[in-house]
Structure 1
Amino acid sequence: MTLALHGIAVSRGIAVSRALVWDTAMRDIPRNRIDKKSVRFEKKRFDNAIKRVADELVEIRSQIAADSPAEFDAFLNLHSLILADPILSEEPKNLIQTKLINAEWALIEQMEVLLEQFSAIEDDYFRERNSDVRQVVERVLKSLRGHATALPLPPEGENEDPWLIVAHDISPADMVQLKGRRVGAFVTEMGGATSHTAIVARSLGIPAVVGVPRALEFVHNGDLVVVDGKVGAVFLDPATMVVEEYQRKQAILALSRQRLKRLITTEARTQCGRRVELLANIELPEDVKGVVDAGADGVGLFRSEFLFMNRKEWPSEDEQYEAYRKVIKAMKGKPVTVRTLDLGADKTLQFDGANSSAPPVSSTSALGLRSIRFSLSEPAIFLTQIRALLRAAKHGPVKILLPMLTNIRETKQALAYIDMAREQLLERRFQANQAVPIGGMIEVPAAALSLPHFLSYLDYVSIGTNDLIQYTLAVDRVDHQVAHLYDPLHPAVLRLVYEVISSAEKAGVPVSVCGEMAGDIRLTRLLLGMGLTQYSMHPSQLLDVKELLLKTDFEATQKLVKKVTRTFDIDKIDALMRQLHED
């Protein structure tokens, strides 16, 4: 009998493959008391395990192929930094000596300390990095217990059948070892929309479903499994009818993807000729190749905080300038929107050196010092970034995007610092573009509800739907216990998004959407009917959205969407959404 498991759909596609199960070392961790005579031996055993894992990570990084996604190196570097953190590499030895416990037990205790620090960070991406801590600890545990840290791998070669990886979680180091292997899909018990598995699966175009409860309990090596990355479903022991149906869908999808490539140079227009700009989101300069290959109209969101990650000091002005310049030149005249540092101030993310005195995170960091608040509290860091951006803007069109604005006072303060950066460059006689448009992220209900006041100060706005939904619904979307309540179709969310788009349109101020909603083809027509003409998404999602827009009747869509925005009846919204997708 077919058993269906459900999780979070993070990378679209279909796979019908045999399962390769990667078990976790977190099960049955030995917790033993030791005598004083064993302390020295236990410490030595721990040091050796740390060294072996450090050497392994260096070796794995050296194996990264030139054509691998840029995320691989960034994630592995992060793992090396986590491993070197004294909380994991030194404190367990103190626990071994003072509590007289074995190395595994001491390591797990310190892991929990580090996890608490990561969990205090509001930003989804950084909060989900607690999975990195677990993955690093898992490698050390395997080394301590004499287990091989290398996992069983799918076969190499185009003629081999792809395998489906089922795991508790998948680390970047494991991902690198999958390069060149035949992987059909990823299924994990952990993870969310911003986990490694999600990010890398999207960049590789591999179907993935994460957050699948008890997947390791139900799936065994060699089991035939069907994965539907569009709806987040995993079918175990599928009936012949189910397998045949999904193989048919798989073949259709493969043909569709080939056909989509013909749209790369086609402008995105609705059937009535309404022009829509499709832009792409990036994290690192190396990601710009995917943007160009997808035929995007520009970079709609460059998450600049990735330039600040995985390092021991703040990037200099010249270093930031070079990173921005590289992206701008690659886009060859197409616009590049750079979001200023969107980072929480948790101490685990502070850097060594001159800037290590960053203010401590507040006790309620979920609503605390992050994004523009952090930048305004650290003007030297903010001014450095703005100067680098203004200098880079001489190479092509650049827009500066201020994250998480909540009131006019901080908006004015940020604009004043930008003016100060302009003056500093003039004093230093640097060539720079002084007329860079300044926009704001609308991702807090307070900003959405008071938008007309913001429009007097900003050249454009961008709706960050991920945070806007979280703040509106009081739902942490990476908390598996409440993730099902994270609903972009909640009437209150739809009302806020619609009001922002219509208010900006009336004021003649450009507006875009750069959150997950922009790349979700289930919501493409909804946003279009609200009046949106600028979408920014992961490059891999762009052609699917373009194809749908080319087949869309704008006027008919607009009429249906007006009905959606006028009702608070969830059943009516569902029915109208179904009508929206009836061609």
Structure 2
Amino acid sequence: MTLTLHGQAVSRGVAIGRAVLAAASRVDVAHYFIAPQQVDDELARLRRARDCVVEEIERLRQGLAHDTVGAHAELAALLEVHLMLLQDEQLQDGVKHWVTERRYNAEWALTAQLEVVARQFDDMEDPYLRERRADLEQVVERLLRALRGAPSPVAAAPAPQGRGEPLVLVAHDLSPADMLHFKHGVFAGFVTDVGGRTSHTAIVARSLEIPAVVGVRNASQLVRQDDLVIIDGEAGVVIVDPSPMMLAEYGYKQRQGEIEREKLARIKNTPAVTLDGQRVELLANIELPEDTLPALSVGAVGVGLFRTEFLFMGRGGQLPDEDEQYEAYRRAVEGMHGLPVTIRTVDVGADKPLEAHRRDDHLNPALGLRAIRWSLAEPAMFLTQLRAILRAAAHGKVNVLIPMVAHLSEVRQVHAMLAKAREQLDRRGEVYGPVRVGAMIEVPAAALAVRLFLRHFDFLSIGTNDLIQYALAIDRVDESVAHLYDPLHPAVLRLVADTIAAAQEAGKPVSICGEMAGDVTLTRLLLGLGLRSFSMHPTQILPVKQQVLRSDTRKLRAWAQQVVASDEPAQWLVD
């Protein structure tokens, strides 16, 4: 009997194959108390398990060392995140506390500390950072398996009886190490019970261009080993035991998708210019210095958003020093070979687990001390980051992007801090370069007062993810209201349109770096509104470029204004 399951579409394409079921990754944990004389032995077991996992990840990284394509670079970067989490002081010290003070056995201590740290991730407002909880869980599970000597659930998954048929993986969740099976072409697609668009699983799926649907609750229980499965990565649908008619229909869609990908590959080096001669800048959003490889591989002409949060997370309250930050920023700048890199100052705050002895007790951390507010409240930290960015600017073109600006007083403080950072570098005799300074327009107040900010900044970048969330009072990761998160809401479109128009009047660059930039259904609308700079995940660049090459902005202007003025803009975008 045909069964249709629904989840979140995270990577386009169609995969058809026999199901390979990976057992639930959660390892059964024994809970018992140990005697005082056993404490040292338990701590030694934990150290051996950690060393074993570190050695395993290092072997995997070495296996990727000679891979230069973007997806493999992303896998290596995610393995680096797991190594960082293994060294996290908050995790290590907490586990040691449970063993030495409470006399918990090693496995129990690990899961107890996991719950403590995981609650901090749950309190985060930013969906990307919130989903880093999954990485922490995967690291703990690897440690538990090492303590027990158990293999990876994906490696241990039984293969279907038939040989030569495409395979699709169905699992509760997947770690970066598990994703290496896709690197070797073992699986054509995957389905997971959990996860979201910003999970590492989804990010790697998009980089590898593997059809995937995540957040399909109970998929690993409903799908049986060797079932024939269709994964529709665009619609977020999984079809189990499809009828012959369905199989033929999706087989046709699959072939069309392959033809389309071949067409996209041919335009990688084609300049992004519209039919009427308008040059459009297609930039990449990156999270790690190594992400410059996938950006260049698809023809990105720069980095429009370098998120620096990875340097600050999972450190048990120890902030990165200036040299560590400088090295990371320098690698990104040099990795782009002279193309511009826009570095956003740290966009976390009191709602994130950066400080071991500080917790945000506010009811709504999204409206609390975060982003530029937090940076200005911690001037020593902010000056350290600014000095590191200025030093990296000596190696190439660098822009500084300030998140969540809403007040003129913040603008003045930012410029004062930049001036102070330059003075400090001058006194030390350090070499640094020039930077352009821009503001993220992601708070409705900033969009409404955009002309004020344009007098003080060199460029603007519209962060549509937060702008939509704040404008509509919608948490897009809250399942009960996520359906109301609407980039085509009239109020959202008017804020975006007015910001673009104001920047054009002032003769200053403006880009969009939120998900709207990479949504091909919105490309023509944004071009019609006058946008000429888009920043997105590297895998979205070629589909957006294809839309740019097919567009005539002269014909789009009047239509775009009609869409913005409409009560129901979405109806205008239906082909």
TM-score (norm 2): 0.88
How far did residue 105 of structure 1 move? Answer: 6.5
Task: Pick which of 525-534 and 542-551 moved more.
Answer: 525-534
Amino acid at match of 1:117: Q
- Partners of 1:45 and 1:431 in 2: how far apart? 50
Q: 1:57 to 1:513 in 2, by over 3 A?
A: same
Amino acid at match of 1:195: S
How far did residue 309 of structure 1 move? Answer: 4.0
Amino acid at match of 2:329: Y
| Counterpart in the other structure of 1:75 | 81
**Per-residue deviation, residues 527-569 of structure 1 (Å, max 9, x unmatched):** 2122111000111111111011111232333332222211233
Q: Is the 8 A contact 1:164 1:183 kept in 2?
A: yes
- Partners of 1:161 and 1:83 in 2: how far apart? 46
How far did residue 50 of structure 1 move? Answer: 7.3
**Per-residue deviation, residues 78-100 of structure 1 (Å, max 9, x unmatched):** 44146971476235447965xxx
**Per-residue deviation, residues 374-408 of structure 1 (Å, max 9, x unmatched):** 21122222222222222322332211101111211
How far did residue 31 of structure 1 move? Answer: 8.2
| Counterpart in the other structure of 2:9 | 9
| Counterpart in the other structure of 2:20 | 20
Amino acid at match of 1:259: K
- Partners of 1:331 and 1:37 in 2: how far apart? 54
**Per-residue deviation, residues 107-143 of structure 1 (Å, max 9, x unmatched):** 5554332221111222222211122233334445556
Partner-residue secondary structure (3-state), 1:73 = helix
* Aligned match for 2:59, one of 62, 75, 91: 62
- Partners of 1:118 and 1:369 in 2: how far apart? 16
Amino acid at match of 1:58: E
Partner-residue secondary structure (3-state), 1:348 = coil
| Counterpart in the other structure of 2:443 | 444
Pairing of 1:328-339 with structure 2 (within 5 A): 328-339=333-344
Partner-residue secondary structure (3-state), 2:221 = helix
- Partners of 1:505 and 1:346 in 2: how far apart? 36
- Partners of 2:152 and 2:40 in 1: how far apart? 20
| Counterpart in the other structure of 1:245 | 249
Q: Is the 8 A contact 2:121 2:352 kept in 1?
A: no
Q: 1:139 to 1:234 in 2, by over 3 A?
A: same
User: Is 1:117 matched up with 2:120?
Assistant: yes
- Partners of 2:424 and 2:98 in 1: how far apart? 48
Pairing of 1:427-576 with structure 2 (within 5 A): 427-434=427-434, 436-569=435-568, 573-576=569-572
- Partners of 2:432 and 2:105 in 1: how far apart? 59
**Per-residue deviation, residues 30-71 of structure 1 (Å, max 9, x unmatched):** 787x6x788988996797467436523431332221123242
User: Is 1:221 matched up with 2:225?
Assistant: yes
Task: Pick which of 362-371 and 111-120 moved more.
Answer: 362-371
Q: Is the 8 A contact 1:45 1:144 kept in 2?
A: no
Amino acid at match of 2:13: G
User: Is 1:379 matched up with 2:384?
Assistant: no
How far did residue 337 of structure 1 move? Answer: 0.9
Q: 1:370 to 1:54 in 2, by over 3 A?
A: farther
Pairing of 1:123-162 with structure 2 (within 5 A): 123-140=126-143, 147-151=150-154, 152=156, 161-162=165-166
Q: 1:96 to 1:141 in 2, by over 3 A?
A: farther
| Counterpart in the other structure of 2:207 | 203
User: Is 1:90 matched up with 2:86?
Assistant: no
| Counterpart in the other structure of 1:361 | 360
User: Is 1:400 matched up with 2:406?
Assistant: no
Amino acid at match of 1:112: E
Amino acid at match of 1:126: L
Q: Is the 8 A contact 1:167 1:187 kept in 2?
A: yes
Partner-residue secondary structure (3-state), 2:188 = strand
Q: 1:394 to 1:112 in 2, by over 3 A?
A: closer
Partner-residue secondary structure (3-state), 1:418 = helix
Amino acid at match of 1:458: F
**Per-residue deviation, residues 185-228 of structure 1 (Å, max 9, x unmatched):** 12112111210111111222212221122212221221111111
Task: Pick which of 168-177 and 498-507 moved more.
Answer: 168-177
Unaligned runs of 5+ in 2: none
How far did residue 320 of structure 1 move? Answer: 2.8
Q: Is the 8 A contact 1:514 1:536 kept in 2?
A: yes
Partner-residue secondary structure (3-state), 1:165 = strand
Q: Is the 8 A contact 1:82 1:88 kept in 2?
A: no
RMSD of equivalent CA atoms:
3.0
**Per-residue deviation, residues 278-321 of structure 1 (Å, max 9, x unmatched):** 01111122111222221111111111222334557444333333
| Counterpart in the other structure of 1:322 | 327
Q: Is the 8 A contact 1:122 1:367 kept in 2?
A: no
- Partners of 2:485 and 2:227 in 1: how far apart? 32
| Counterpart in the other structure of 1:353 | none
User: Is 1:174 matched up with 2:215?
Assistant: no
| Counterpart in the other structure of 2:409 | 409
- Partners of 2:389 and 2:96 in 1: how far apart? 39
Identity in percent: 48
TM-score (norm 1): 0.87
How far did residue 458 of structure 1 move? Answer: 0.9
**Per-residue deviation, residues 398-452 of structure 1 (Å, max 9, x unmatched):** 1110111121111211111011112222333333334x21001111122122212
How far did residue 232 of structure 1 move? Answer: 1.4
Q: 1:109 to 1:243 in 2, by over 3 A?
A: same
How far did residue 22 of structure 1 move? Answer: 1.9
- Partners of 1:114 and 1:336 in 2: how far apart? 33
Q: Is the 8 A contact 1:528 1:554 kept in 2?
A: yes
Q: 1:334 to 1:56 in 2, by over 3 A?
A: closer
- Partners of 2:39 and 2:395 in 1: how far apart? 57
Q: 1:193 to 1:88 in 2, by over 3 A?
A: farther
- Partners of 1:37 and 1:283 in 2: how far apart? 42
- Partners of 2:4 and 2:422 in 1: how far apart? 58
Q: 1:51 to 1:552 in 2, by over 3 A?
A: same
Q: 1:37 to 1:527 in 2, by over 3 A?
A: closer
Task: Pick which of 467-476 and 262-271 moved more.
Answer: 467-476
Q: Is the 8 A contact 1:78 1:310 kept in 2?
A: yes
Q: Is the 8 A contact 2:121 2:353 kept in 1?
A: yes
Q: 1:161 to 1:80 in 2, by over 3 A?
A: farther
**Per-residue deviation, residues 224-276 of structure 1 (Å, max 9, x unmatched):** 11111122121111111222222222222222222222212211122111211
- Partners of 1:140 and 1:433 in 2: how far apart? 44
**Per-residue deviation, residues 505-530 of structure 1 (Å, max 9, x unmatched):** 22222110011111111221122122
- Partners of 1:407 and 1:142 in 2: how far apart? 50
Q: How many pairs does the alignment contain?
A: 560
